[in-house]
Amino acid sequence: MAASNNKHTVTRGYNARVEDFREDEYPMLNDSIYLDHAGTTLFPKSLMDRFAKDMTSTLFGNPHSASPSSQSTTARIEDIRLRVLRFFNADPAEFDLVFVANATAGIKLVADALRAAPDGFDYVHHQASHTSLVGVREEARNSLCIDDRQVEDWVTGSCPIEDDGENRPVLFAYPAQSNMDGRRYPLSWAGKLRRSSRRKTYTLLDAAALVCSSPLDLSCADAAPDFTVLSFYKIFGFPDLGALIVRRDAEEAFHSRRYFGGGTVDMVVCVKEQWHAPKTQFLHERLEDGTLPIHSIIALDAALDVHKKLFGSMRDVALHTSFLSRRWYRGLGSLRHGNGEPVCVVYSPDPESADDKLGSGPVIAFNIRNSQGTWISLTEVDKLATLKRFHIRTGGVCNPGGIASALGLQPWEMIQNFSSGFRCGTENDIMAGKPTGVIRASLGAMSTVSDVDSFVDFIAEFYQDASPIPMVTKAAGTPHGSSQLHIHSIFVYPIKSCGGFEVPSGVDWEVKPEGLAWDREWCLVHQGTGQALSQKRYLKMALIRPSLDFERGELRVTYTGDIPAHLPREISIPLSKNPSLFQSYISRSRSSRVCGEEIQAQTYSSPEINSFFSGVLGVPCLLARFPPGGQGKSMRHAKAHLQRHQLPLPSATRHILPGSFPPSPPDSDTEKPISRRILLSNESPILAITLPSVAALNREIQLTKPSSKEISSAVFRANIVIAPADPENRPLLPYSEDEWTGLKIGEGKQHGFEMLGACRRCHMVCVNQETAEKSEEPFVTLSKTRRFDGKVFFGVHMSWDGGGRGLVPTVRVGDVAVPEWRDKGVGE
């Protein structure tokens, strides 16, 4: 889009000056496009410089002492408290400001105090509330979640929550701006409710999302909320600190608070008698328990200065971000598929809609559908966004009520989804044909036109079915058995997520029900969490190269990257399962997690072994073994299953658009459960790929990026690589493997293998297995050419079928491989 090049076009509200300093002030953006400002704000470099100067030039003592350093700290903190109040136009005669850890801590302070009131309190919260507000309901006697209309009714006099004659106060909490979709709610509700309610009503405003990019004006104390909470790191990026701003008229709400600690009391008697006198002059003195986060508060001074210097006032920031968000809304909202259907379903309010006096935050919450109307999985969007260096957030974004109302999810549906396995942050994000979360992106003061435009371009590039890209997604018209196939190479990955070991030619390699012998029998687990480490996060694992030496009975492990001086380049681990090698089972045996699944692996006790792995990866980890034949948590099962695109379909539906593979009904019964044992592999006993598919993918990549390097088949981390024995004369069509139902391997021995379904891919295929460097390909091209039902596939899962004339099944390089084909329709 043109405007991004037009650096200094003056457009109303847009602060083109940001582009001048952004590169210097935000060096962390060099390798990312940051689009989750509602989640975290970046801090400018000059703020850190200012803060460092402050910290190193002045002696800051702990408050509550008479030393000069202590006195000057106390004075400085009081100045900053005042300065922050003024930042929100709050008169110190009308308001007090309590420093807290974050917005949530401010909310808890209010809830704690009201719970201690003689009859507790009743709680009403708006449905757009963040989970931090929702949780308050657990402390209340009665609670209720209400929508806009119910608030409006309340304003005109009808309190939504029954008064049972106990004279108990009501706390009403709502966000000034929803963290989910940027929708704003009137500040005026607070004053109106206070005046119109017959019951004593306090209001708690969650301003955490609003203040990121807008002024908060508390100049009219009568109209202001009783309690306002916010987090400074969301405005300035730093410090990690929050505030609770209390209307002095509402201070009595804290009278029943019980706890005291640190400097919050004037006198405490504790021997023989128990008595204490809370500080009385300022509310903040009574509520700030323990030593204040002095350095964070001091940093606030620098944060205010630097923010002002870079961005001007919060009003300037609001103009800038709302200019960008209008552009964004128009950009995403106007994307259409070739058939005219919209690409994005946007849940955020239109920032341009005239009847909206409040405006809306620079947040966009949406979901994507393909041209056939099928929802695109959020996890897939996340994977691509990550590769394209966008930082966005997907899922429930801590806003259960907002999500439920945007997506039309009823409580029973949410509970049903939970029972069928849905958890926040897992891959199951489309359940029963409906999305369970949203894609959220948001802008901050340092966002630019090019951030916005490149995000719109990204969505268009991958999700708009407009241009008919030539698709090589499926084999068509494959002549049955015309190609003679053989096993080109065999790999095992003894340590999960580490380098592969190529089975030498001429060796018969044993196949077990769990997969190839020695495949994924070991893993590295984090010393703290017990989670199995993955190359997805620790790229350097690719440089850990295990090799199996049966003569010496060892697994030899070499690290090919830069090695810390005190470590050997290679270590040996006995293949023996001698119990003395492992940490004693008498000490509480710890469970580990592989792909979120709890397992019982045995960890090695040798400090040499563990410090080798910890040292090369820079992560405190232990080597663990998960030998075949275990029981209970020492056993895992395959999760692979046939994908819908592998099922026979009428040939008319074979033209595939990006992201689409309808029109089979959602939740068809393709997911037949299979119970096959596996070791530590992600999904199935054996993974196979074919070289013609790798070649086809490389051709696709070359089509759009002629200069890009060829992708090695190693990135797919297959166990068995299959190729035509005579590729010139009897080629194999790419992606034929999708259609196989079985494979017979080995002339004479003819061991049978069953195909279990296509292999779902993530951006780990972008890790070069030689260098451990990560790039965009092949995932970007795969997601354009090999996406079905919103998921990306390459290669097939398989397992030994258990038959085979009583022989120990083996495979060897060069073995003939004869596929069995799915029964195909006429005309193919």
Q: Which is nearer to ligand PLP, 37 or 488 (CB)?
A: 37
> Is the Cβ of residue 190 or residue 525 nearer to ligand PLP in the bound state?
190
* Shortest spacing between CB 102 and ligand PLP, in angstroms: 3
CA angle 638, 643, 647 (to 5 degrees): 130
Q: Are 495 and 604 in contact (CB under 8 A)?
A: no
- Tracing tokens 């017990």 back to the chain, one arrives at 530
Token duo for residue 167: 């004279």
User: Cβ(130)–Cβ(175) under 8 Å?
Assistant: yes
Nearer to ligand PLP, 208 or 287 (CB): 208
Report yes or no: 525 and 622 within 8 Å, Cβ to Cβ: yes
> Inter-axis angle of helices 68-87 and 294-311, to 10 degrees?
40
Q: Which is nearer to ligand PLP, 231 or 377 (CB)?
A: 231
Residue 399 C-beta: closest distance to ligand PLP, Å: 8
* Nearer Cβ to ligand PLP (228/646): 228
Pairing status of strand 791-800 against strand 787-788: antiparallel
The pairing of strands 751-760 and 791-800 is: antiparallel
Q: Report whether the peptide linkage leading into residue 663 is cis, meaning its omega lies within 30 degrees of zero.
A: yes
Residues 6+ apart with CB under 8 A from 658: 370, 462, 463, 464, 465, 469, 784, 787
- Coil, helix or strand for 198? coil
Nearer to ligand PLP by Cβ, of 242 and 746: the residue is 242
Return the number of the residue (394 or 497) whose C-beta is nearest ligand PLP: 394
Q: Which two tokens stand for residue 207?
A: 């301003």
CB of 104 to ligand PLP, least distance (A): 3
Q: How far is the CB of 354 from ligand PLP (least distance, A)?
A: 26
Q: Is 398 a catalytic residue?
A: yes
**Among 254, 294, 248, residue whose Cα is nearest residue 78:** 294
- 778 prior amide bond cis, ω within 30: yes
Q: In terms of CB distance, is 102 or 197 closer to ligand PLP? A: 102
Q: Phi/psi of residue 47, each to 5°? A: -65, -40
For residue 400, the tally of other CB atoms under 10 A from its CB is 20
Q: Minimum CB separation from ligand PLP for residue 462, in Å?
A: 28
Min CB(108)–ligand PLP separation in Å: 9
Pick the closer one to ligand PLP by CB: 102 or 386: 102
CA–CA gap between residue 268 and residue 259 (Å, rounded): 12
Which distant-in-sequence residues (6+ apart) come within 8 Å of 754 by Cβ? 741, 742, 798, 799, 800, 801
Nearer to ligand PLP (CB atom), residue 322 or residue 693? 322
Which single residue is written with the structure tokens 């509602």? 38
* Structure tokens, 508: 């018969």
Q: Judge whether 484 and 730 are in contact, CB under 8 Å.
A: yes
DSSP codes, 49-113: HHHHHHHHHS----SSS-SHHHHHHHHHHHHHHHHHHHHTT--TTTEEEEEESSHHHHHHHHHHH
**Other C-beta atoms within 10 Å of 599: how many?**
23
Min dist. Cβ of residue 290 to ligand PLP (A):
18
In the complex, the smallest distance separating the C-beta of residue 109 from ligand PLP, rounded to whole angstroms, is: 12
Please tell me which residue in 145, 159, 212, 398 is annotated as part of the active site. Answer: 398
Whichever of 231 and 781 has its CB closer to ligand PLP, that residue is 231
Separation CA 316–CA 14 (nearest Å)? 9
> Smallest Cα–Cα separation from 753: which of 805, 720, 796, 798?
798
Strand partners, 69: none
Please choose, from the candidates 190, 439, 197, the residue with its C-alpha nearest in 3D space to the C-alpha of residue 332.
439
Distance from chain centroid for Cα 693:
31
The CA-based angle 741-691-786, given to 5 degrees, is: 70
CA nearest neighbour of 815 among 750, 749, 746: 746
Q: Which is nearer to ligand PLP, 77 or 243 (CB)?
A: 243
Q: Rounded to the nearest whole angstrom, what is the least distance from the CB of residue 113 to ligand PLP in the complex?
A: 18
Both tokens of 495, joined, read: 């340590």
Closest alpha carbon to 86 in 250, 307, 388, 304: 304
State in angstroms the smallest separation of the CB of 125 from ligand PLP.
12
Q: How near is the Cβ of 190 to ligand PLP at its closest, in Å?
A: 16
Determine the angle formed by the axes of helices 188-196 and 148-155, rounding to 10 degrees. Answer: 50
Instruction: Please give the residue ranges that form the binding site for ligand PLP (CB under 6 A).
Output: 102-104, 130, 132, 175, 179, 206, 208-209, 231, 242
Minimum separation from the CB atom of position 674 to ligand PLP (A): 42
d(CA 664, CA 645): 9
| 486-520: burial string, b at 16+ Cβ within 10 Å, e else | bbbbbbbbbbbbbbbbebeeeeebebbebbbbbbb
Residues with active-site annotation? 398
